[in-house]
Amino acid sequence: MDAIFILTGAGISAESGLGTFRDKDGLWTRYDLRRVATPEGFRADPALVHDFYNMRRQNCLEASPNAAHQALARLQRDYPGEVTLVTQNVDDLHERAGAAEVIHMHGELLRALCAACGHRWPAPARMLPEDRCPACDRAATRPDIVWFGEVPYRMDEIVERLARARLFAVIGSSGEVYPAAGFVEEAVSQGARTVEINLEPCGRGNLFGSGLYGPASAVVPSWVEGLLGG
Ligand code: OAD
């Protein structure tokens, strides 16, 4: 059975009410990413950065998975081969839809990380700069989010799984942020079939062998139906 590798981005959660980054009214049109999504920004103003992620965590807790998240969970459950689900999203909507295994390459809103000792724990709804690490008691807590200039999580495992994939799909991502944006070239070079699922072809759309265009909540369920043979 062909191994499948799926990369999701903010577009899959857009219809659940979570904003994307680069679309009209996207988060990066309203916030300066250097101030809220870099280690330098956090050093300069930790309270501002915590406020930004506290707000996003609140939005995430109020959101529900949509039909696209549910269809991918079904694919992981019912497909007889390997289905790797890697997300750039920091929400937990794949998990709440029932996905068996999700690789969060850019971290998770619902986790806290101690910058001093590396301990991780469930984030409270509201994180504050003075919060102490439950393991080392230092006030060095941060959201467990991969910021610009930091290395995404679980890259060795991702590269291994990408090398096995015979079908590669990107759902709801603009292909602007590396290393994720480069996965399609890797998949093409090893002869995998590639498909882009998005509202419209993204800037790297011509690299994909095929494209399915429309809202993820409509396109993904029918794509999954086809993969499961009916
Ligand atoms: P972007 O905001 O860059 O792109 C979202 C994509 O989703 C766009 O190509 C839209 O066309 C598409 N889209 C919007 N609504 C959709 C819908 N209903 N159905 C299908 N597609 C839809 O988001 P990402 O590519 O995920 O990283 O951004 C990548 C990374 O940049 C994020 O993980 C984040 C950000 O900076 C960090 O914060 C480290």
106 lines ligand 1 (CB under 6 A): yes
- From the CB of 196, is ligand 1 less than 6 Å away? no
Provide the pLDDT confidence category of residue 204 given band limits of 50, 70 and 90: confident
Q: 203 falls in which pLDDT band (50, 70, 90)?
A: confident
What phi, psi does 156 have (nearest 5°)? -60, -45
* Selected catalytic residue, list 69, 94, 106, 119: 106
Mean pLDDT of 42-70: 97
| Residue 230: pLDDT over 80 | no
The string of pLDDT tens digits covering residues 63-122 is 999 999 999 999 999 999 999 999 999 999 999 999 999 999 999 999 999 999 999 999
Q: Answer whether 21 contacts ligand 1 (Cβ < 6 A).
A: yes
Q: Is 207 exposed, middle or buried (0-12, 13-18, 19+ CB in 10 A)?
A: middle
Q: Ligand 1: does its nearest atom lie under 6 Å from the Cβ of 146?
A: yes
Q: Which atom of ligand 1 is nearest to the CA of 150?
A: 39
Smallest CA-to-CA distance from 173 within 5, 15, 9 is with 9
- Which architecture characterizes domain 19-62+110-145 according to CATH? 2-Layer Sandwich (3.30)
Taking the C-alpha atoms of residue 95 and residue 108, their distance in angstroms, rounded to an integer, is: 11
> Residue 213 pLDDT more than 90?
yes
Active site residue 106: yes
Every domain range in the chain assigned CATH 3.40.50.1220: 1-17+65-106+152-230
Q: Kindly report which listed range (58-62, 149-153, 190-194, 200-204) carries the lowest average pLDDT score.
A: 200-204
- The ranges of the chain annotated as CATH 3.30.1600.10 are 19-62+110-145
Determine the atom of ligand 1 nearest the C-alpha atom of 88.
33
The DSSP-derived string for the chain is: ---EEEEE-THHHHTTT---SSSTT-HHHHS-HHHHSSHHHHHH-HHHHHHHHHHHHHHHHH----HHHHHHHHHHHH-SS-EEEEE---S-HHHHTT-S--EETTEEEEEEEETTT--EEEPPSS--TTPPPTTT--S-EEEEEPPTTSPPTTHHHHHHHHHH-SEEEEES--S-STTGGGHHHHHHHTT-EEEEEESS--TTGGGSSEEEES-HHHHHHHHHHHHTT-
Name the residue at shortest CA distance from atom 31 of ligand 1: 177
Mean pLDDT of 26-32: 95
Please determine, for residue 175, whether its predicted confidence score (pLDDT) is greater than 80. yes
Question: Rounded to two decimals, what is the model's pTM?
Answer: 0.97
Q: How far apart, in whole angstroms, are the C-alpha atoms of residue 103 and residue 29?
A: 27
Ligand 1 pocket check for 19: Cβ under 6 Å: no
Q: What is the pLDDT of residue 53?
A: 98
Nearest CA to ligand 1 atom 23: 10
Domain 1-17+65-106+152-230 sits in CATH at 3.40.50.1220
